[in-house]
């Protein structure tokens, strides 16, 4: 796994000394991004970094005066606001004794440590070497999965509630650093007790699901990440309650408006893990008993299992006219939701070890104006129970 560093400092001599020393620790210049002010740092933080070295005294932008408050405000934004995915480790750096005295307490609260970089001495090098070694060891450990399964859903109720209602051993809810609230649990799957985490995204939509997925993968390194819940059906052959395996997904709103006012589509299709899709298809017979065991309001027809594309977008679809657009993007499109693509994209681009991933949702409406929340609890229930059967088959198929 690449060791990427963001160095935020406007002192050219200090930057040169740090970069050269990192080279002696086998970190090439190409792995180091340099930002000389807070605006540049925020832009760079759209990427992921294992280590950020942040100067205590920093200008807001080019040619602005360097202030300690600027560095502190950037640090608070990264650590506390949740708007930026934080680097694995943040270390404060300074060559200014007065700035260290003024801001030390706040910086120490928000960072791994603070280094006083006196270029005439070597103490800072020893501390930096320790930090780099610590992160390298953590990255080496990251080549292995920590947990077996991560459940991610969009809604706390009824979707996460249906996951927690599974016959698993669940712990109490706790926060995930940089991400959503989670529950840990375990269950016997494929002849072995497997460890879970379950969470819901902070908000609906692909952006929120992508951020939640990234945070969960970074923190727990799951073998499998799986999404369940509700979706809208856009295929004539689908009935309310039917299940859709999202064989592939994309953002139906991706593209650009040309100068003639026409929207040019540019969907980026991401495919679910084939072994998980196969496992889900092989347990289709489990749907009938799951359906019959549900004692509350359920669809009159027994659900069927479908496998095909599920499109995602940032808005709820409540008009049938959009169905033609989805079919134009892929003639076999079956369903629409708001989160599947975000989860797929984050899992697909994640670092090693990459998780296997799949989304299975149940049709709670037909993506038109005749929407109702009546079936959401049933759809959440049946996809959660079906997911457990899928996972049991998946792990049974694995050679471990």
Concatenate the DSSP letters of all residues of 204-256 into one string: SSHHHHHHHHHHHHHHH-EEEEEEEEEEEE-STT--TT-EEEEEEEEETT-EE
Distances (CA, A) of 258 to 46, 262, 265, 324, 329: 27, 5, 10, 20, 18
Examine the pLDDT at 299 and tell me if it is beyond 70. Answer: yes
pLDDT class for 314, splitting at 50, 70, 90?
low
Instruction: List the one residue out of 372, 388, 240 whose CA is nearest residue 303.
Output: 240
What's the rounded Cα separation, in Å, for the pair 223 and 398?
Answer: 12
- DSSP H/E element including 270: strand 270-271
pTM above 0.75, yes or no: no
246 in Cβ contact with 340 (< 8 Å): yes
- DSSP H/E element including 309: strand 305-312
Q: Token digits for 104?
A: 């030390």
pLDDT averaged over the chain?
87
Stretch among 76-80, 226-230, 369-373 having the lowest mean pLDDT: 369-373
What DSSP character marks residue 41? H
pLDDT class for 114, splitting at 50, 70, 90?
confident
Q: Token digits for 12?
A: 């050219």
Neighbouring-strand partners of residue 110: none
Q: Pick the more confident residue, 257 or 392.
A: 392
pLDDT class for 80, splitting at 50, 70, 90?
confident
- DSSP H/E element including 103: helix 97-110
What is the average per-residue pLDDT within 258-280?
79
Tell me what pLDDT residue 175 has: 82
Tell me what pLDDT residue 86 has: 80
What is the average per-residue pLDDT within 325-344?
79
Percent share of the chain, pLDDT over 70: 86
What's the rounded Cα separation, in Å, for the pair 50 and 302?
Answer: 49
pLDDT class for 324, splitting at 50, 70, 90?
low
Q: Do 5-141 and 147-397 show the same overall fold?
A: yes
Tell me what pLDDT residue 384 has: 98
Stretch among 8-22, 75-89, 151-165 having the lowest mean pLDDT: 75-89
At residue 108's C-alpha, the angle toward residues 104 and 112, to 5°, is 140
Stretch among 17-26, 186-195, 230-239 having the lowest mean pLDDT: 230-239
Neighbouring-strand partners of residue 262: none
- The gap from C-alpha 240 to its chain's centroid, in whole angstroms, comes to 29
Superfamily for the 147-397 domain: Nucleoside phosphorylase domain (3.40.50.1580)
Tell me what pLDDT residue 257 has: 57
At residue 53's C-alpha, the angle toward residues 216 and 67, to 5°, is 115
Examine the pLDDT at 100 and tell me if it is beyond 80. Answer: no
Radius of gyration from C-alpha coordinates of the chain: 24
What's the rounded Cα separation, in Å, for the pair 139 and 2?
Answer: 9
| Residue boundaries of the structural domains of the chain | 5-141, 147-397
Examine the pLDDT at 400 and tell me if it is beyond 60. Answer: no
CATH code, 5-141: 3.40.50.2300
- The gap from C-alpha 202 to its chain's centroid, in whole angstroms, comes to 11
pLDDT class for 319, splitting at 50, 70, 90?
low
């Amino acid at each position: 796994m690449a060791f990427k560093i963001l160095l935020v400092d406007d002192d050219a001599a200090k930057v040169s000394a740090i970069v050269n020393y990192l080279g002696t620790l086998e970190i090439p210049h190409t792995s180091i991004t340099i930002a000389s002010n807070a605006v540049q740092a925020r832009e760079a933080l759209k990427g992921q970094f294992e280590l950020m070295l942040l100067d205590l005294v920093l200008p807001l932008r080019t040619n602005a005066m360097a202030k300690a408050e600027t560095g502190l405000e950037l640090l608070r934004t990264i650590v506390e606001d949740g708007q930026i995915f934080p680097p694995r480790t943040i270390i404060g750096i300074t060559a200014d004794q007065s700035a260290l005295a003024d801001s030390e307490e706040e910086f120490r609260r928000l960072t791994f440590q603070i280094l006083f970089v006196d270029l005439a001495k070597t103490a800072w090098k020893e501390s930096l070497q320790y930090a780099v070694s610590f992160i390298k060891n953590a990255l080496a450990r990251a080549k292995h999965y920590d947990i077996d399964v991560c459940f991610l859903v969009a809604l706390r109720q009824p979707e996460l509630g249906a996951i927690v209602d599974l016959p698993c051993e669940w712990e109490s809810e706790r926060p995930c650093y940089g991400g959503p609230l989670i529950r840990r649990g375990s269950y016997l799957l494929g002849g072995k007790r497997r460890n879970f985490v379950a969470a819901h995204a902070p908000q609906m939509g692909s952006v929120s699901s992508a951020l939640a997925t990234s945070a969960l993968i970074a923190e727990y390194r799951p073998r499998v990440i799986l999404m369940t819940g509700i979706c809208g059906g856009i295929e004539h052959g689908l009935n309310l309650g039917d299940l859709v395996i999202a064989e592939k997904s994309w953002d139906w709103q991706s593209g650009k408006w040309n100068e003639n006012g026409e929207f040019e589509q540019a969907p980026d299709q991401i495919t679910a893990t084939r072994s998980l899709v196969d496992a889900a298809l092989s347990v289709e017979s489990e749907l009938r008993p799951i359906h019959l065991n549900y004692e509350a309001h359920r669809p009159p027809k027994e659900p069927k299992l479908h496998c095909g594309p599920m499109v995602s977008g940032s808005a709820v679809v409540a008009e049938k006219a959009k169905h033609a657009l989805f079919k134009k993007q892929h003639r076999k499109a079956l369903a629409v939701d708001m989160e599947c693509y975000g989860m797929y994209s984050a899992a697909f681009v994640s670092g090693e070890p990459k998780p296997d991933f799949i989304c299975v949702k149940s049709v709670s409406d037909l993506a038109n104006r005749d929407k109702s929340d009546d079936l959401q609890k049933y759809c959440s229930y049946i996809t959660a129970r079906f997911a457990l059967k899928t996972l049991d088959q998946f792990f049974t198929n694995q050679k471990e």
